[in-house]
Structure 1
Amino acid sequence: MRDLLMLGLFAALIYKTLKDPLWGVLGWVWMGVMNPHRLAYGFAHDAPWSMLIALTLFLSLLIHRDKLVKFPVNAVTILLGIWIVWIGVSPLLFSFYPDKEMHFWSRAFKVLLMVLVSLLVVQRRRDLDWLVLVLVVSIGYYGIKGGVFTVLSGGSARVWGPEGSFIEDNNSLALATIMTVPLIRYLQLQSTRRWQHHLATAAMLLCMASAVGSQSRGAFLAIVMMSFFMWLKSRNKLPLALVVLVALPLIFVFMPDSWTDRMETIKTYDQDASAMGRINAWQMAWRLATDLFPFGGGFTVAGAAVFAKYAPDPSIPLTAHSIYFQAMGEHGFLGLALFVGIFAMTWRMASATIRASKAELDLQWARDLSAMCQVGLIGYATGGAFLSLVYFDLPYYLVLIVVVVNRIVASEMAQRKKAAIAAGQAPRDVHSPYWGSA
């Protein structure tokens, strides 16, 4: 039954994509983030859905090329473009396992390329709202389900994601769930009905419960950081503060002793085998990147041969378990600079948008969305410090959203300035929300 439902939804998606490429972008995001086909058990489970929707999207781009917007050239997109090129350099030059590189490179390349393609299609507030909704539904499905599971089980078991995806293990799913909370908050701020507001509150609480129930230490730190920044960045701070100060501690109180014991290992990391294994992998990444400066060792650095040459303890070859050391080990110091630079410049762009739209009542949605994307990036920067998720889709979609919001606000402010000049009025002095060509 699930397979037939998946087939029917996909057929409708293909039809809509040929009519409007936006549906292809939304379909790609849905397939890549949620992996709905992994919820089926028959032919749909392993069918090449993403490849089919991507091919249909490119066909639709050709059909509707007159409706595409000009590609935005700015610091964020330039760094993103260089990053896409650079991730192919280390695997070609210094890989210890060149025969295994193609699979990992292909997966990362497709994620990043589709972000750039989406910048040609996503152009209006309506498009952004649809994109946010798809992201919320895709991750929120697992977050809400996991939250209910955590509450009913008393937090005695961990929550896992769909197999074969970026969010398969409990730690990655927890981070993705936490990063979705600010997007739910954005939808809540734009809601006009009481039931929508309450539904969003319930979804946020259940997502946080799911993340806590994963027993992920990185997710715990991300929750703490994001709770503060979401309160700092949000309008209507008092209701949000009440939720965070009352509901969130209750979630922690009802967790079992196993959860408390695991969180306490943050203070005694030097006595935890898992933590020391990660530190060993971090030292390996540093030594490798220093030796091959400015390059890295490619996507397959977590192998015995690499650890034998660079790790302090070669007997425990682990993945980096840190977006920063993963980027450094795989693509060198230049790769790390590009990776961090993308999100740093995205943060600056979001801040510029917030300043420009702050006094414009009809652009409050842009302020809210930019601020909540910043909160999501805080979660990624914090929780990602303990996970190998350099190529995870969700943070790059936050980058996409920030760039498109900035473009919309810049265009709107430019039109208002022209209208004021045409009417013989002095245009109001506002912060420029945009740097680069539209």
Structure 2
Amino acid sequence: MRDLLLGGVIFSLICCAFARPWIGALTWTWISIMNPHSYSWVLSSMPVAAAVALSTLVGILVSKDRKVYFVSRETAMLMLFMLWVTITLPMGFMVEYSITPWKTVVKIDFMILVALVVLHSRQHIMGLAWVLAGSIGFYGFKGGLFTIATGGSYRVWGPDGTFIEGNNEIALALVIVIPLIRFLQMQVESRWVKHALTAVMILCAVASLGSQSRGALLALGAMGFVMWWRSESKAAVGVLMVVIGLVLIGFMPDSWMNRMETIGEYQEDGSAMGRINAWQMAWNLASHNFFGGSFGIYNLETFGRYAPDPTDVHAAHSIYFQVLGEHGFLGLFIFLVMWSFVWGTAGRMRKQGLKQPETRWVSDLGSMCQVSMAGYAVGGAFLSLAYFDLPYNILILVVAGSRWMDQKAWIREAAEQAVQAAGSKKKRRFWIFGKPAR
């Protein structure tokens, strides 16, 4: 029954993508971020994402929907990053092991660019925000209830076979999505929907704590600081944040407290020292190899050449050292410039969007995207999530939102709505009088 229901929904969306490619872009995001077909017996082994991507690309070619082809400074850096990781592939170590992750990275980034072609209206941007919030919020809702039911005695884990299957990774994803849920809450008018979104945000925070991820705790702190700094009533907001934090932390068991206390005692933590060993390996590798080592560097041979402890093989556990070790200092430079551009554009949206009532929602979007990026920048310093889809979807929100504001798209959309309303009125008159109006 589950297979039939989920398969029917996905098949319907694939069909819609041929005529409305923006639906395909949102469906791809849902499949890629949430991985819902993994809960099915049959669909889990089928190329669902490929089918959605193909239907979206065909829809771009054959549909009459409006497409927007443009290059912003953010997308230019994204394309440059895609080119650079392609150049470093044959120059790296263990090329045969690097091909599969390279395909994954290029596929994700390519679909980000595709989404920017078809997502251009306010409806599209809001739709993407809802898809992201729902895809990750689902795990936050479920994980938060699980944490409350078990008293935080067990860790929250993400969906198998995804970027966020680990407890640390799902925790950071939950942290990043909380500001997006807050953005949606600021746009809705229904009191009940606002309360429901508040509950989801709280459960996402509880689930992130329930993962027992130290990086997620630091990311929450970073986001909280940004929101406090921008608040008009810093005293009231500060007290509220402290109270909420104490309540949530007080709920967690002693094992959680013991794990968080190791943040300041990293010299005695084997996991933390393993990460530092991997960071030093990445630095030494990049210092000796201009192109880095590509994706296949996490093995005894590479660590034996560049790590202080050659036997302690770890993943990078940092978006910064991950890119540095895999693509060298130039790759890291491109990566950092891209995200600094996204941050700057989001800041411009936050300020300029306040100048007129039609763009207030753009200001809210820019502000909350910056908060999400603060969480990613801090939490990502301890996790290998340099290529995770969710931050790149925030790039879409920022680029599309700023373009909508700069082009004063609300004027065009109002005109289009007027034309559609006039067309609907003519159709109603046709059915009433039995002939079209002249």
Whether these two folds match at TM > 0.5 is: yes
Is 1:151 paired with 2:153?
Answer: no
Judged with a 3 Å threshold, the aligned counterparts in structure 2 of structure 1 residues 240 and 133 are, in CA distance, closer, same or farther, namely: farther
Partner residue of 1:83?
81
Partner residue of 2:198?
201
AA aligned to 1:143 is G
2: CA distance between counterparts of 1:366 and 1:279? 40
Partner residue of 1:169?
166
Judged with a 3 Å threshold, the aligned counterparts in structure 2 of structure 1 residues 117 and 272 are, in CA distance, closer, same or farther, namely: same
Partner SS for 1:316: coil
**1:317-357 per-position Cα deviation (integer Å, ceiling 9, x unaligned):** 11100000000000000000111111101111111122221
Q: CA RMSD in A?
A: 1.8
Q: How does 1:17-32 map to 2 (within 5 A)?
A: 17-32=17-32
- Tell me, yes or no, if the aligned pair for 2:358 and 2:410 is still in contact at 8 Å: no
Q: How does 1:93-172 map to 2 (within 5 A)?
A: 93-95=91-93, 97-172=94-169
2: CA distance between counterparts of 1:165 and 1:210? 18
Report sequence identity in percent.
44
Q: TM-score, normalised by structure 2?
A: 0.91
The structure 2 residue matched to 1:316, chosen from 312, 316, 320, is: 312
Partner SS for 2:76: helix
Task: State the Cα distance separating 1:361 from its structure 2 match.
Answer: 1.9
Task: State the Cα distance separating 1:102 from its structure 2 match.
Answer: 1.2
**1:265-299 per-position Cα deviation (integer Å, ceiling 9, x unaligned):** 10000000000000000000000000012x11001
**1:48-83 per-position Cα deviation (integer Å, ceiling 9, x unaligned):** 100000011110010126620132x23211111100
**1:407-426 per-position Cα deviation (integer Å, ceiling 9, x unaligned):** 0110119979xxxxxxxxxx
2: CA distance between counterparts of 1:231 and 1:138? 27
Judged with a 3 Å threshold, the aligned counterparts in structure 2 of structure 1 residues 5 and 386 are, in CA distance, closer, same or farther, namely: same
Q: Which has the higher helix share?
A: 2
2: CA distance between counterparts of 1:237 and 1:112? 39
Q: TM-score, normalised by structure 1?
A: 0.91
Higher-Rg structure is 2
1: CA distance between counterparts of 2:133 and 2:125? 12
2: CA distance between counterparts of 1:49 and 1:186? 30
**1:195-245 per-position Cα deviation (integer Å, ceiling 9, x unaligned):** 111111111110000000000000000011111223444689898666533
Partner SS for 2:74: helix
AA aligned to 1:191 is V
Judged with a 3 Å threshold, the aligned counterparts in structure 2 of structure 1 residues 36 and 236 are, in CA distance, closer, same or farther, namely: farther
2: CA distance between counterparts of 1:239 and 1:409? 32
Task: State the Cα distance separating 1:127 from its structure 2 match.
Answer: 0.4
For structure 1, the residue ranges without an aligned partner over 5 or more in a row are 417-438
2: CA distance between counterparts of 1:274 and 1:394? 26
Task: State the Cα distance separating 1:91 from its structure 2 match.
Answer: 1.8
The structure 2 residue matched to 1:339, chosen from 302, 319, 335, is: 335
For structure 2, the residue ranges without an aligned partner over 5 or more in a row are 413-438
Partner SS for 2:263: coil
1: CA distance between counterparts of 2:410 and 2:50? 39
- Tell me, yes or no, if the aligned pair for 1:234 and 1:371 is still in contact at 8 Å: no
Judged with a 3 Å threshold, the aligned counterparts in structure 2 of structure 1 residues 43 and 66 are, in CA distance, closer, same or farther, namely: closer
Partner residue of 2:37?
37
Q: How does 1:350-429 map to 2 (within 5 A)?
A: 350-412=346-408
Task: State the Cα distance separating 1:248 from its structure 2 match.
Answer: 2.8
